[in-house]
Amino acid sequence: MTPTPETQTQDRGSAISVRNLRVSYGEREILHGISFDVLPGETLVILGGSGSGKSTLLRTLVGLERPTSGEIWLGGKNMATITPKELDDLRKTIGMSFQGSALFGSMTVGENVSLPLKEHSPLDDSTIEIMVRLKLDQVGLAGYENYMPAQLSGGMKKRAAVARAMSMDPQILFFDEPSAGLDPIIAAGIDELILKLKKAFGMTCVVVTHELASAFLIGDRMILLDRGVIVANGTKDEIQVSQQPRVRQFLDRIPEPELKDELSYLQMLIGDDATARK
C-alpha cells in the first residue's frame, strides 16, 4: 500500500483538505465554517468536548452528511460536487469505524469483516477467509469469527468495527472514538494498532478521541473543536505548550467555571431579558 498520491487540486498535496465547512442538521448549524488539512501518512487527532461536532465532522468527511457550504477535498475529489459513482470509488479507499460500532447485527463478526471484500474484491473465498483472520488477529479478536455482534462485549465490538474498517486496506482510516469505553490495556492496543498501520502502510488516519494520553501518543497533529469551530490546530508539541485558554482548559481538565450563586443561575435560565429589566 502506498500513500495517497499527491493531487493538484488539493493544497500542498494533502490527503484531505477542508475549507470553510458548514454543516447543519435542519435549522441548527453544527459546524461553523472550519478549515484544516490532513497530510498523507499522518494521523490527525480531533479533540473536543461532547457535542462539539466531532462525529458530525467525521460523518461529513465520508459523505454521510451534506455540507451546507464549503469544500472537502478527498482523493482529488470535492465531496460537494462528487458524482455517486466517484463517491463509491472513493469509499472503497477509505475505512470508517463508527462511534457505536455499527456492526451488522444479522451477520457474524467474520461476515462483517469479510463483507466489503466479498462485495468489492475479486479474491476467492479462502483468501478472504485468511485476510479476515489476519484482521481479527490484529485487533486481538482471533477466533471470534463465528460470534454474533450481540455476543461480544462493548470493547470487542469496537475492535471488530476497527477490523472491518481496515478490511479493504484503505488509504485513509476514520476512527470515531475507537478506544472510548475500553479498558486501558485494550485501549493501548488500539493505539498501538493505529501506530503500526501508519508505520507499515503509511495510512492516513483521522481519529476522534477523548483520551488525552492516547491523543498525544498517536497524533502527529491535532485540532481542538469547540462548539463547531476549531480553536486550535497544530502539531502535538504546539498544542502541548499552547497558551490558548480553551486548549489549556481541555488539556488541564479544568471544568466549566461554576455559576456563582443561585440568582445568576436563575437569571441564566430566564435569559437576558430579566437581567436587563432589573
Partner 1 sequence: MAFTEAVGRTAIDQFAYVGQLARLTWRAAVAVVTGPRQGAGLRYRRALHQAMAVGVEAIPIISLITFFVGVILALQSAHELKRFGAMEFVPNAVALSLTRELGPLMTAIIVIGRSGSAFAAEIGTMKVSEEIDALETMALDPVQFLVAPKLVAMLIMMPCLTMWSDFMGIAGGAVFGILGAGFTISSYFRATLDALLKEDIITGLIKAFMFGMVITAVGCQEGLMTGLGSEQVGRSTTTAVVKSIFVVILVDLGFTALFYFTSPN
Note the residues at the interface with partner 1 (CB under 8 A).
59, 62-64, 87-89, 91-92, 94-96, 98-100, 102-106, 115-116, 118-122, 164, 168
User: Is residue 204 within the footprint of Mg ion (CB under 5 A)?
Assistant: no
Give one word for 41, left, alpha or beta, with left for phi > 0 and alpha for psi -120 to 50.
left
Applying CB under 6 A, the site for ligand ATP has a residue count of 11
- In this structure, which long-range contacts are made by residues 120-123, counting pairs with CB atoms below 8 Å and at least 24 apart in sequence? 120/92, 120/168, 121/168
Nearest-CB residue to ligand ATP? 55
Per-residue burial over 93-111, b if 16 or more Cβ lie within 10 Å, else e, is: ebbbbbbebbbeeeebbbb
State in angstroms the smallest separation of the CB of 10 from partner 1.
Answer: 21
Angle between helices 125-138 and 109-120 (to 10 degrees): 130
Please say which residue, 180 or 188, places its beta carbon nearer to ligand ATP.
180
Q: Of these partners, Mg ion, partner 1, ligand ATP, none, which one is at the site of residue 50 (CB under 5 to 8 Å by kind)?
A: ligand ATP
Please say which residue, 4 or 52, places its beta carbon nearer to ligand ATP.
52
- CA 211 to the chain's CA centroid: 13
Contact predicate 82/60, CB 8 Å: no
Quote the CA–CA distance of 74 and 16 in Å, as a whole number.
Answer: 5
Quote the CA–CA distance of 196 and 192 in Å, as a whole number.
Answer: 6
User: Is residue 60 within the footprint of Mg ion (CB under 5 A)?
Assistant: no
Within 77-136, which residues bind ligand ATP (CB under 6 A)?
99
State in angstroms the smallest separation of the CB of 261 from partner 1.
Answer: 37
Please say which residue, 25 or 278, places its beta carbon nearer to ligand ATP.
25
Please say which residue, 173 or 193, places its beta carbon nearer to partner 1.
173
Please say which residue, 8 or 50, places its beta carbon nearer to ligand ATP.
50
Quote the CA–CA distance of 63 and 80 in Å, as a whole number.
Answer: 9
User: Is residue 55 within the footprint of ligand ATP (CB under 6 A)?
Assistant: yes
Q: Of these partners, ligand ATP, partner 1, Mg ion, none, which one is at the site of residue 60 (CB under 5 to 8 Å by kind)?
A: none
Residues in the chain: 278
Please say which residue, 30 or 224, places its beta carbon nearer to partner 1.
30
SS3 label, residue 175: strand
Within 219-248, which residues bind Mg ion (CB under 5 A)?
none
Nearest-CB residue to Mg ion? 55
Q: Which helix (H) or strand (E) holds 198?
A: helix 184-201
* Near ligand ATP by CB under 6 A: residue from 56, 171, 204, 214: 56
| Close Cβ partners of 30 (under 8 Å, ≥ 6 residues apart) | 23, 24, 53, 56, 228
User: Is residue 48 within the footprint of ligand ATP (CB under 6 A)?
Assistant: yes
* Near Mg ion by CB under 5 A: residue from 55, 60, 114, 214: 55
Contact predicate 60/72, CB 8 Å: yes
Interacting residues toward Mg ion by CB under 5 A: 55, 99
Interacting residues toward ligand ATP by CB under 6 A: 25, 30, 48, 50-56, 99
